[in-house]
Amino acid sequence: MNKPLIFIPALLSSSLAVAADSIALSDTIVTASRQPQPASSSTAASSIFTRADIERLQPYSVADLLRRVPGASITSNGGLGSLTTLSLRGTSATQSLVLIDGQRIGSASAGQPSLEFINVENIDRIEVIRGPRSAIYGSDAIGGVVQIFTRQGEPGLRPRVKLGIGSNQTYTRSLALSGGDERTTVDIGGTLNETAGIDRTRHNAGGDEDRDGYRNEAYNLSVRHWITDTLDVGLRLNEQSGNTEYDLFGNPEDDFRLSTVSTHLQWQANRVWTARLEAGHVEDKRDSLYDFASYTYNTYRDSASWLNTLKLSDAHQLQTGLDWYEDRLRSNSEFTRTERYNRAAFAQYRFSGERISAELGWRHDDSEQFGHANTRNAALIVPLANGQQLVASYGEGFRAPTFNDLYTAYGANPLLDPEWSKSYELQWRGEVDETSLQVAAFRTDIEDMILLDPFYVAQNISQARIHGLELSATRDVLGWQTTASAAWLDPRERGTGRQLPRRAKRTLSLDADRQFGNIGVGFTIIANSQRYNDRANQQELSGFGTLEARASWRMLPSLRWDLAISNLLERDYRLANYSYAGRTYAYQEEQLNARLSMTWTPTL
């Protein structure tokens, strides 16, 4: 399927449906400014998935959910638990920041987050900010920010039990308890996911012809207590550990552990000033076991933040903050340095008027490794007729080199500078004939891109330019809750004009769901245009389109059955290849996967 997006304009105009932005614009968003605000007052283009969306869409993984985001490209090495990366708005996998409960989870060695290990059952909500946010978060937030919020308790007492079975000997068992009162809430749970997997490459050399299995044990804990009406404290813990197998020179496998701990103390001192203290710890551990050797890459990160919000008047607000984090790497590979810290201060001013709203921001980062970095952002919201809005914005971003770039024994360059970006964006959003619509056009210029030279040494040797257009809409169509999005990207390396690798230039997502009493049904269409696997644009990966179907039955108020079928038409497609020593590993995606589960949530 080489041109799967030929019908995008017709689909958008006929179904008038939306994207990953599956909540109303009036809902609250936190990630855009690191404080709760109505999404309609945020200057950022955003996509939000609530727990209700997750239960309705029945995603196979976090990546399965995120591929619905406009302008997002997912790369996977085949099947559940395989190496998975996310590209937002044509940027690389290391140029978007991923947070769990406010904590950075990117590896200090490779730079990318372990999205493949995050358990969907532990998630309460996902917010995706599309576009730069370095003036708020610092390094990595060039393409956007993804924040995953884990489950939190609610008043009352409610257990959760989920049992599931699926194709390829896939099993899910989950047990959790949520409860509390007006002052204290708690949520605690555990999940075990297992699958025998698929043969990820169908490569018949050595031990590569076997199935590649995956096992994940996940635990979560959330506690929040209101000491007074204006003072509250909280603790969140999330952990995933297990084993994943893959194909590469025999029978390799990874033992992994990804854990985050975050705490906060928030005090509303008066009507003007709200202060928040945050602290956290992240561990990303990976032991790669090959037939001939083993490699250990363990990231440890400690962090602390002090955030202050000053509501100077109904129209004027000032937010200030101090951030600190320290990375430590423990590996049996040779690195000349294994620790570094980053300190930062930022300020954001916002004006909210009847005719216009404006935002100005600045952040200063002080890195032990590369010195000082300043990033800025500015935005203007102009109200139009019938509640519509026009948003013009400018944002700067940067990405600090990783430990692999700087300090590893092979191919490192300690003189590397950060990557820098400038982005310009124009959004229109509003309601038209009972249809919620969003349109965003943007341009991003990236300087000092870090790539390998002909001698495989990391260098600041490239510049990139990315043009993009995103469309999203939502509407009830004959009783169907219909959501769709489309994006057109032109991500190019400026010196050569070649398309940046592993980014689809055109993407389409269409979700439609309807409720018939206690029975719900739905389907999803995902389509991506062709992409290149390599920088030279010699290895082309064909475009593809997939169809998914799902159903649910509310058998009792506390008992629900879910059925999901992925890749219903059994399309054969690939998102990545790997070539080495004359051998090419073409990573296969699952052709068809069916999953049946039962969820029991009694009220005690």
Using the predicted structure, report yes or no on whether residue 588 has a pLDDT greater than 50: yes
Instruction: Check: CB of residue 591 under 8 Å from CB of residue 570.
Output: yes
Nearest to 596 by CA among 547, 546, 550: 550
Q: What is the DSSP letter of 15?
A: H
**Are β-strands 144-150 and 96-100 bridged in parallel, bridged antiparallel, or unpaired?**
parallel
SS (HEC) of 502-527: CCCCEEEEEEEEEEECCEEEEEEEEE
* C-alpha–C-alpha distance, residues 524 and 36, integer Å: 31
In order of their start, the domains of the chain are 8-600 (2.40.170.20)
Element (H, E) at 584: strand 583-586
pLDDT band at 10 (very low <50, low <70, confident <90, very high): very low
Total count of residues recorded for the chain? 604
Query: Distance between CA atoms of 451 and 457, rounded to whole angstroms?
Result: 8
Give Rg (Cα) of the chain.
23
Token pair listed for 25? 């614009």
CB 582 within 8 A of CB 573: no
Q: Can you tell me the distance from the alpha carbon of 464 to that of 449, in angstroms, rounded to the nearest whole number? A: 8
Distance CA 540, CA 530 (A): 7
Among 517, 494, 491, CA closest to 506? 491
> What's the pLDDT band for 456 if we cut at 50, 70, 90?
confident
Task: Tell me which amino acid residue 394 is.
Answer: Y
Q: Report pLDDT for 507.
A: 97
pLDDT given for residue 229 in this prediction: 95
> What's the confidence (pLDDT) of residue 204?
56
Cα(145)–Cα(130) distance, rounded to whole angstroms? 7
* Whether residue 60 has pLDDT greater than 80: yes
Q: What is the rounded CA–CA span in Å between residue 579 and residue 358?
A: 49
pLDDT tens string 165-201: 999 999 999 999 999 999 999 999 999 999 998 888 8
Better pLDDT: 461 or 15: 461
**Tokens read off for 123:** 């998630």
Beta bridge partners of 255: 243, 287
Are the CB atoms for 50 and 39 separated by under 8 Å? Answer: no
**Whole-number pLDDT of residue 557:** 95
- Which residue in 560, 467, 550, 536 sits closest to 506, CA to CA? 467
Listed in order, strand segments (DSSP E) in 312-338 are 316-331
Q: Which of 87-91, 340-344, 360-364, 368-372 has the lowest mean pLDDT?
A: 368-372
Which residues have a Cβ under 8 Å from the Cβ of 299 and sit 6 or more positions away? 107, 108, 109, 282, 283, 284, 285, 327, 328, 329
Percent of the chain with pLDDT over 90: 80
Query: Is the pLDDT confidence value at 66 over 60?
Result: yes
Contact 309, 317 (CB under 8 A): yes
Residue 454 has a pLDDT of 77
Tell me how far apart the alpha carbons of residues 400 and 232 are, in angstroms, rounded to a whole number: 34
| DSSP bridge partners of 279 | 263, 304
**Distance from C-alpha of 330 to C-alpha of 325, rounded to nearest angstrom:** 17
pLDDT at residue 241, rounded to an integer:
97
Tell me what pLDDT residue 400 has.
94
d(CA 158, CA 149): 20
Cα separation, 474 vs 108, in Å, equals 39
**Integer Cα distance of 66 and 96 in angstroms:** 13
Find out whether 492 and 500 touch, Cβ atoms under 8 Å.
yes
- Using a 10 angstrom Cβ sphere, with 0-12 exposed, 13-18 middle and 19 or more buried, the burial of residue 137 is buried
> For residue 80, what are the contacts with CB-CB under 8 A and spacing of at least 6?
60, 61, 116, 170, 193, 195, 197, 214, 590
**CA–CA separation, 86 and 107 (whole Å):** 14
- Checking if the pLDDT of 25 tops 80, the result is no
Using the predicted structure, report yes or no on whether residue 19 has a pLDDT greater than 60. no
Taking the C-alpha atoms of residue 130 and residue 423, their distance in angstroms, rounded to an integer, is 11
The confidence score (pLDDT) of residue 206 equals: 54
What is the DSSP code string of 403-423? HHHHHBTTT--TTPPPEEEEE
Closest listed residue to residue 34, CA positions, set 348, 454, 331 = 348
Name the DSSP class of 386: G
- pLDDT on residue 208: 61
Give the model confidence (pLDDT) of 257-282 as tens digits: 999 999 999 999 999 999 999 999 99
pLDDT category at 202 given cuts 50, 70, 90 is low
Q: Report pLDDT digits (tens) over 404-424.
A: 999 987 788 999 999 999 999
> Confidence band (pLDDT; 50, 70, 90) for 203?
low
Q: Which helix H or strand E contains 599, and what residues bound it?
A: strand 593-600
Is residue 26 pLDDT above 80, yes or no?
A: no
What's the start-to-end Cα distance of the chain, in Å?
52
- Smallest Cα–Cα separation from 464: which of 419, 425, 530, 412? 419
pLDDT computed for residue 11 by the predictor: 35
Asked if residue 93 lies in contact with residue 85, where contact means CB atoms within 8 angstroms, the answer is yes
